[in-house]
Each structure stands twice: as C-alpha cells, then as structure tokens.
C-alpha cells in the first residue's frame, strides 16, 4: 500500500467518525428539544386549564350594589318636556324614615342626561294629587350633562335638612327647560313598602290610548326610585 492510499484511508476513517459523532450529537439535540417541547406543551395545557378555572370563578363574582335588590329589574323614567302636551314630564318618590335624620344630599342613578339643569325639590307629603302642595324643605339644581350611565350622582342641597321619623316626605325631579332630559333609575318592584314612585304625565289607559292629555300625578305602587340620603 502506497503512502497516498494510506492517507486517503485515514482521512476516510476520520470523516466517517466525524459524521457518526455529528449525527449522534444531532440526535441527542433533537431528543432534548423534543423533551423540552413536550414539557412546554404540557405546561401550556396546565396553564390554560388553570386560566379556565379562574375565568369561571370571575364570571360568578358580581359587583356589590347597595341600591339593587335581587330579582328586581332596573328601568329608567324619562324626565323631559313633552312636546305633545306642552308640559314637563316629572318623576317623584314619597318616603318615610324610621328615625330622625339630618341630610345634606340626595343620591340618584340615571341612564343619561343632556341639556341644562335638572331641578330637585323636597317637600312634606300632604296630597297625593298635588305632591308640591306641602311645605318646601329644599330646592336645588344639578347639571344634566354630569349625569352618566349607571354610576350614582349626588345632588347637594344648599343647607342641611332635618327629617323627622314616621313623617311622609316626597322629592320631585324635573327638567328646567325644553332642552333638558334625563333618565332616572327606578326598580320595577316594590322595594320600599313605606313609599311609592309617582309620575307627572298624560293619563294613558291599559290599551295605550291617551285618556287625558293634561298631565297629572299618577302613583306607581309597585315601583320605587333608586335613591339614598347623606
């Protein structure tokens, strides 16, 4: 065997050994990568399963609402100028407190507000046909543009008012002009047994026919405005 053949054989052996080590190393790397990918896939499945459980738990959590009552539907009554009757459509709520209180503000909820100011008045309740017949205890305004969907809004009175226990009172909410409107929140259920919601609007029959175009105070005994005092 001449030196050239011997050199070629040595080179070939080294090349074969190198190729074998290369493929062995490649196979080992592929094996490790496969294990790593399988581990990541398993962890991903576990995380997705945990997230699904957390999501299900979050969906069952409801935000607390002091003014809401379970199983009572919330709706909104439009306080606005009625162009057909050319009168203001108003809403009111009678109430009675269980103890003496000194208040300085009324908290309401609404769905919208546009225009200028709403007018809010507080009276002693003496006549269901004329809710404003009793002595006026407070009168204030609130910008309708500051009324936003759902969050409560606070109407500040100009002075503190002392309300006596076991006396009937009423507050009235109305628009001050033809441009102002708001949707005042109320419950379609009798949540306060000592009081009632009233609406000042046209008298409409059960069949939807207008019985009297002139506005009058009409009781809604199974409805109550959502309100709080501070």
Q: What domain count does the chain have?
A: 2
> pTM higher than 0.85 for the full model?
no
Same domain, 131 and 219: yes
46 is a domain residue = yes
Beta bridge partners of 122: 138, 171
Same domain, 80 and 51: no
CATH of the domain at 222: 2.60.120
* Residue 36 domain boundaries: 1-61
Over the stretch 24-61, which tens digit does the pLDDT of each residue have? Answer: 565 656 565 566 656 555 555 544 544 443 333 333 33
Count of CB atoms within 10 A of residue 88's CB? Answer: 19
DSSP-assigned letter for residue 210? E
Same domain, 45 and 110: no
The CA R_g of the chain, rounded to the nearest whole Å, is 37
Out of 28-37, 58-67, 95-104, the most confident range is 95-104
36 is a domain residue = yes
Same domain, 105 and 216: yes
């Amino acid at each position: 065997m001449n030196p050239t053949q011997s050199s070629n054989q040595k080179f070939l052996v080294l090349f074969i050994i190198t190729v074998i080590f290369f493929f062995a190393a490649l196979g080992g790397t592929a094996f490790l990568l496969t294990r790593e990918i399988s581990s990541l896939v398993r962890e991903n499945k576990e995380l997705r399963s945990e997230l699904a459980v957390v999501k299900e738990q979050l969906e069952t959590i409801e935000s607390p609402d002091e003014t809401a009552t379970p199983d009572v539907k919330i709706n909104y009554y439009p306080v606005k100028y009625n162009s057909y009757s050319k009168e203001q459509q108003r809403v009111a709520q009678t109430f009675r407190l269980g103890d003496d209180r000194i208040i300085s503000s009324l908290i309401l909820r609404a769905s919208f507000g546009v225009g200028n100011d709403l007018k809010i008045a507080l009276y002693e309740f003496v006549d269901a046909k004329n809710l404003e017949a009793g002595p006026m205890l407070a009168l204030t305004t609130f910008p309708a543009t500051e009324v936003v969907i759902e969050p409560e809004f606070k109407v500040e009175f100009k002075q503190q008012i002392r309300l006596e226990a076991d006396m009937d009172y009423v507050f009235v909410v109305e628009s001050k002009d033809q441009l102002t409107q708001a949707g005042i929140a109320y419950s379609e259920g009798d949540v306060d047994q000592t009081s009632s919601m009233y609406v000042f609007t046209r008298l409409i029959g059960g069949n939807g026919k207008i019985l009297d175009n002139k506005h009058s105070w009409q009781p809604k005994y199974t409805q109550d405005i959502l309100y709080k005092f501070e």
